[in-house]
Structure 1
Amino acid sequence: MRWLLALGLLLLAPVLGQGQEVRTAVTLEEVEALLQAWGFRHERMEGDGKPYLLLYFGDLKATLKLLLCEDTRCRALLLRAVFTGFTPEDRPDHARLNGWNREKLFSRAYLDEDGDPVLEADLDLEGGVTNEAIRAFLENFRDSMREFTGWIGF
């Protein structure tokens, strides 16, 4: 009986997956349209001659950069949040951030050249991702940012 259920699921898998666009690259405009549709507050910025997006997650902010680009189509996304304003005594140290990297999934933390804690995550599009995978990437990072603020005492 189980084999019949398994066979049915195998036969249904292609049908269930239909209708979801698979992306292997995106443009900034496509990402902006997705953010708008999902209700993510954002604004377009410019740095080092390249556009990027500033995302607002409540009172927290993160940048979203498109990487591995050919013309306007890019094959990777990078989310980055920098946490500033620590006094030298209160700033988290490498051991604290290494603990995050050891225990947490889907993001990485480090101290930047100014000694400020940074949280990053990237998404490789080359193998193909759906819009929902991009949305999950954004939501996971938002949740990681919130947890990270407690982790570092921000």
Structure 2
Amino acid sequence: MHAPIPSPHRRRLARTLAFLALLPGAALAQDVIDGRDPDAILNIARGYGSALMETDEIDDPLIRGRIEGVAYLVYFYGCVDNKECRAIQFRSTFGRETTLESMNAWNRDHRFGTGYINNEGYPTLEYDVNLDYGVTPRNLDDTFDWWRVTLGEFKEHLEAEPATEEISPLTEQIEAGLPESAPGKPTPEIKLPNFLRDFIPPIEGANPQ
């Protein structure tokens, strides 16, 4: 019994697949980076400045880096047992005041990077990247370059705002530890013993006894 003769369509498909298998790109098709390889992401980050691998508060990977003098973090999301992560998020926070109007203007005028005021009152820039199923190293390198550009533009956007008093990250902790009579706090009422009231004249503006 003779074997069936393949149709012209199947012969063309077989030749095409054989040709594609010989192309250099066929081997590179498997050369992708995803959230399962934080060290590969760290290596790309180091191409743009200093970067260290750490872990966040739930032990997921965390990259702490600096681009052109600006500090930033890379958080990993969708992780299973602190690995097999599916996405990353760039984030940078600036220690100065801003306004909701300024953040709205940024988000209106820029395609990349979301600006907002965080819970501590500081302007923050975030940039989310999906790595599910992987991206090529060249693609991720380009993503880091877009983050570099966006981060620089966000910094320029903040610097173009009218000058405001810079907020210290420790302001709230310092105020919380001040005694009741510290500047900015109401002066407590001082009650004198009855036998001293006749000898000490009343102070103008003081609370009545």
TM over 0.5: yes
* CA distance in 2: counterparts of 1:33 and 1:64, whole angstroms: 13
Superposition deviation, residue 152 in structure 1: 1.1
Structure 2 counterparts to residues 55-66 of structure 1, below 5 A: 55-66=65-76
**Matched residue, 1:29:** 39
Report the count of equivalent residues.
136
**Is 1:146 aligned to residue 152 of structure 2?**
yes
**Is 1:77 aligned to residue 85 of structure 2?**
no
Superposition deviation, residue 28 in structure 1: 2.1
What amino acid maps onto 1:69 in structure 2?
A: C
Unaligned runs of 5+ in 1: 1-10
Superposition deviation, residue 138 in structure 1: 1.1
Structure 2 counterparts to residues 36-47 of structure 1, below 5 A: 36=46, 38=47, 40-47=49-56
Superposition deviation, residue 132 in structure 1: 1.4
| Structure having the larger proportion of residues in strand | 1
**Matched residue, 1:102:** 108
**Please, what TM-score do these two structures have when normalized by structure 2?**
0.58
**Please, what TM-score do these two structures have when normalized by structure 1?**
0.76
Tell which has more relative contact order, 1 or 2 (C-alpha 8 A, sep 6+). 1
Tell me the percent identity: 21
Secondary structure of the 2:36 match is coil
Rg larger for = 2
Superposition deviation, residue 39 in structure 1: 5.3
**Matched residue, 1:128:** 134
* CA distance in 2: counterparts of 1:33 and 1:128, whole angstroms: 16
How large is the Cα RMSD of the aligned pairs?
2.3
- Residues 23-71 of structure 1: per-residue CA shift (max 9 Å, x gap): 44333223223334x3542012343142411111121010011111123
What amino acid maps onto 2:57 in structure 1?
A: D
